[in-house]
Structure 1
């Protein structure tokens, strides 16, 4: 089983659909779609990926959005990147397999060795399927 850790601001910002007019609303909509992800999806490597409950890092104007059932929110008090790295370190230390969804190259370099990453396009394809 793989825990999907989502850089929510990065994924929201990857699609120019007017999210900047209502950041919290855009985050809430994306979280609802994350909660509805099936337990098995095509992975970024083409294989089948069995998912556990996703973890979404929220920050800034989206920090106080409600958490939908089935999604764990990490509410970043400051830097969302710092909160995401801390969550991934905690999960990997507990022996969890993690897939981080972000396009942020700087953030990717801060993750523990062996943590897999996928871009927002991969996740958007899964959500749109």
Structure 2
């Protein structure tokens, strides 16, 4: 006797799952590149320079950026000696790269860009090419308060 291999029919109460709702846009800041764009002696105190940038970015989650309405999520990627920057008030998430800051940024873009608008702040041409290939937008360091 043959057994039917037909798939079970859908019951009337079956519902397709809801598509994931994307969150707010994500702004990922290349801390080393943005800090390095202002020749103010940052190299003498990298963690201090990263802390100043973190504090300056604190307005962005609630204010947004030109062409990018609030609210936005802000992620500051730090590397090297700048990894010592403590978390601060204001809703700027700190991501400490254990290796290359650029690689950390690319990893973050891989996660966010498929479902959320992702903007990377950097002037690094190589990084720009890597993240735009993954669907992120890129703006230069002057796009954020520094």
Give the TM-score of the pair, scaled to structure 1.
0.84
For residues 13-92 of structure 1, the aligned pairs below 5 Å read 13-37=36-60, 39-43=62-66, 47-69=67-89, 70-92=91-113
Deviates more, 1:2-11 or 1:64-73: 64-73
Instruction: Give aligned pairs, total.
Output: 121
Gaps of 5+ in 2: 1-23
Gaps of 5+ in 1: none
1:5-56: CA deviation from partner (whole Å, max 9, x where unpaired): 000010000010111111110101110111233623442xxx3532422001
- Matching of residue 102 in structure 1 with residue 122 in structure 2: yes
Moved segments of 4+, more than 4 Å: none
Q: Which has the higher strand share?
A: 1
Distance 2:65 2:98 in 1: 33
* Aligned alpha-carbon RMSD (Å): 1.7
Q: Which has the higher helix share?
A: 1
Distance 1:38 1:54 in 2: 6
1:91-111: CA deviation from partner (whole Å, max 9, x where unpaired): 123x11111000001001111
**What residue in structure 2 maps to residue 117 of structure 1?**
138
Give the TM-score of the pair, scaled to structure 2.
0.75
1:7 and 1:42, CA in 2 relative to 1: closer, same or farther beyond 3 A? closer
